[in-house]
Amino acid sequence: MPRPATSTFALPDSLSHKSDPALIAADERHFAAVSDCLAEKVADLSARLDARRRGPAGRGAQTIERDTDIRRLAADLTTLRRFGLDVCIGHYATAREQSTGRGPETVYVGRIGLTDATGTPLLVDWRTPSAEPFFAATLADPRGVAYRRRYRWSGGRIVDFWDEVFDDDDELARHVSPDDTSAFVTSLSGARTGRMRDVLATIQADQDAIIRADARGALAVDGGPGTGKTVVALHRAAYLLHEQSRSGLRRGNLLLVGPHRPYLDYVAEVLPALGEHSVQTATVADLAEAALGSSLGGPQGVPLGVAAGVAHGGWAGGLPDEPDPEAARLKSDVRMVDAIEAAVRFYEEPPEQSMVVPTEWADLRLTPADWAEAFASVEDGTPHNEAHGQIHQTLVDILVDQAAGAPEDDTRERSLRAELAADPGLGRALSRAWPMIDAGELVGDLWTVPAYLQLCAQWLTTEQIRLLQRSDPHAWTSADLPLLDAARHRLGDADRARRSQRRRTERAAELERRRQVIDEVIAADDDPEGVAPMLRHADLQEALLDPLTDDDFAAGAPRLAGPFGHIIVDEAQELTDAQWQTILRRCPSGSLTVVGDRAQSRLGFAETWQQRLERIGLPSARIATVHLSINYRTPSEIMEAAAPVIRAVRPDANVPESARSSGVPVTYGRVVDLPRVLEHWLAAHPEGVACVIRAGGSPGVARAFSDRVRTLTPAEAKGLEFDLVVVVDPESFGSGDTDSGITRAVDRYVAMTRATRQLIELRP
């Protein structure tokens, strides 16, 4: 990257007073050094990557090491090439130490750390302790900071900067230009682009404290609209991965769960801009669908999202909602997850009849007690289908012990084991006694066989059982996903288990064949000290076989099946108890960041976060709650109109206080005015994104106007923000819900608070 020929600063005429060399000369010199260093780093990484790619692939561990190096070098190079000088977000100067007379030190903070060839740090990574004072300093607690400067970049050049002074040092005063308005509040006035803006340089002290909080246990971040909950969640993901040695995480082992696919698209650019490419993202529906795979297919194997004919929108994913609210409520009850356990146990009862297994040496008998012993041998936590191999091995051991004395030596015992392992009658008997079960078939049976559902969920009434029945076992709805996921977790992958068992049987047969060859070679060799007798050693015989690696069992393992070291859940107030189990079974450590607003819950949220998280199974001693109360996004004019809407149904709602005013009042009109409203706004605003929020979410007239106008339902708009929001017929919100009045108010509150500049409500 060549050093810029012109100044790094491109300040407009209105900011000419900030162009004083006394204010920016030191920055100019520092950015020249940063530019040179970036160019050297890019050249070095490019050369190393090319050399590694041209080098031999090697074999075994060498191949894995080479591929790992290539991925790491390519990721580092991508990160460096993503940024220019805008890799730097600002700097701070420490206060002069009076006791020692030590002068101030200037620390430049970047999205990544950067050190020149001499070892001099040019940028400290924003996630390191050295950068913490940049974000945490306040007038009440300066953290040893004399002043802080935040940059605003455009086109690779600085178009504005903001200085905040925390010390009255006269020497420093000549090098700063204090602003009346903070960088954060000023940045909020910019037009939206359809993607979440880069806000790293303007992270506030209260947000930074949450980002850097300990990852042990669960942290609940409660905040109303516009308080920066999503900003905190995303930056916390990047921070925790950077601090992986302290938090026990590794690359690819942190999951961000969002409310719907538009949300994940909206935030897609944030984490790469923070130097992180390894955070996995998903909706809660994605977790279940990814883990279930073919179990979700209909009778013809058509993917559900296609068969349903709906796009991802909300926690439901690609499935239609449950048509009956009471059926949805029953399926969301955590006791229904417990019913899955009972449903599987139904297939884990040992046979009550003996059977004979004929062999070359003798007819062997398996009694009911033998079957019970084999079933009891399954290790705790082993999925049902994957326990099949353990049971089969135990049955073989029991039969071999029973045949003691029939085989006269080790060779015959090995032959007996191989014969029993491949015996088709024993395999069929085990498949009847402990069948391989598909998750979709198991849950489908609950909805189509009333007696089976009654057996597994005895707390259900006869009427509730009737309500849950349906004629098509594969007519899945969004409410089925957590139960399907629970079944998949309890059962394991039937196909994988079959492959593993087949691989073990083939391996046993191959090992026996090779041992026979070895015996023949030894018999033909009359040298007692030669190589051939060495082949008698079992360890060497095993080594001659292709190793049975973890890949044999992990092949096809779902990427989102977990476990994860840490999971961040945004809009967590919408999760049902059953959906929470989908999250928790992927995070056995209980290390969670839970982000949400109880007032925005369409499902009702009478508990505190502490109570909710305790109830779903997290230990109370490891739960902490923090609150955000300043609304940085929504102007006060809009919040003054929105607050009464939510407080009418939820008096204790955490309605945040707006940090700014737009001067634009909320306006009202008629639905027939929608085309004129959009046309006028688009003409007056060449930049920015508008959203029409209506109950049906149908694109209607909005799509015809511009690709800068979106149409969403309130649920689909959750977590997003737009310059203009047009709320269409808010009285139609919540129709069909059990408590339509509360749902209507919540939906309207959510819709109103998506606006960053202007809100218009249209009624019939």
Residue 381 marked as a ligand binder: no
**Of 595, 342, 316, nearest to 482 (Cα)?**
316
Q: Is 492 annotated as a binding residue?
A: no
Q: Does the annotation list 228 as a binding residue?
A: yes
Q: What residues contact residue 148 under an 8 Å CB cut-off, 6+ apart?
A: 90, 91, 92, 134, 137, 163, 164, 166
Tokens standing for residue 633? 């996004």
Residues in contact with 301: Cβ distance below 8 Å, sequence separation at least 6, in sequence order = 294
Q: In this structure, what token pair is assigned to residue 90?
A: 């600002």
Contact 577, 633 (CB under 8 A): no
CA distance 347 to 358: 26
Residue 212: beta bridge partners? none
Task: Provide the 8-state DSSP code for 605.
Answer: -
Please report where in the chains the tokens 């004919």 appear, as a residue. 309
336, exposed or middle or buried, with CB in 10 Å at 0-12, 13-18, 19+?
Answer: buried
Tokens representing 28?
């100019």
* Residues forming a β-bridge with 164: 148
CA 696 to chain centre: 28
Cis peptide before 424 (omega within 30 of 0): no
Burial grade of 85 (CB within 10 A; 0-12, 13-18, 19 or more): buried
Given a contact cutoff of 8 angstroms between Cβ atoms, the answer to whether 698 and 733 are in contact is no
Between CA 413 and CA 418 the distance in angstroms is 9
Rounded-to-integer distance, Cα 41 and Cα 60, Å: 31
Is 696 marked as binding a ligand? no
Does the annotation place 229 within a ligand binding site? yes
Query: Encoding tokens for residue 740?
Result: 């339509």
User: What is the Cβ-side half-sphere exposure of residue 113, based on CA atoms within 13 angstroms?
Assistant: 12
Residue listed under structure tokens 């939906």: 747
Q: Which residues of 470-487 are buried (b: 16+ CB within 10 A; e: fewer)?
A: eeebbbbbbbbbbbbbbb
Contact 421, 507 (CB under 8 A): no
223 is in an annotated binding site: yes
> What's the per-residue H, E or C state across 476-528?
CCHHHHHHHHHHHHHHCCHHHHHHHHHHHHHHHHHHHHHHHHHHHHHHCCCCC
User: DSSP for 65-90?
Assistant: HHHHHHHHHHHHHHHHHH-SGGGEEE
Integer Cα distance of 714 and 695 in angstroms:
7
Strands 114-115 and 121-125: antiparallel
Per the annotation, does 226 bind a ligand?
Answer: yes
| 593 in a known ligand binding site | no
Cβ neighbours of residue 609 closer than 8 Å, sequence gap 6 or more: 220, 222, 594, 596, 598, 623, 625
Length of the chain: 764
Angle, in degrees to the nearest 10, between helices 334-345 and 325-332: 70
Phi, psi of 201 (to 5 degrees): -65, -20
Nearest CA among 151, 34, 148, 122 for reference residue 85: 34
Q: Which of 199-215 are b and which e, b meaning 16 or more Cβ less than 10 Å from the residue's Cβ?
A: bbbbbbebbbebbbbeb
CB atoms within 10 A of CB 337: 24
628 phi/psi in degrees, rounded to 5: -110, 130
Feature table: binding site: 223-230
Feature table: binding site for ATP: 223-230
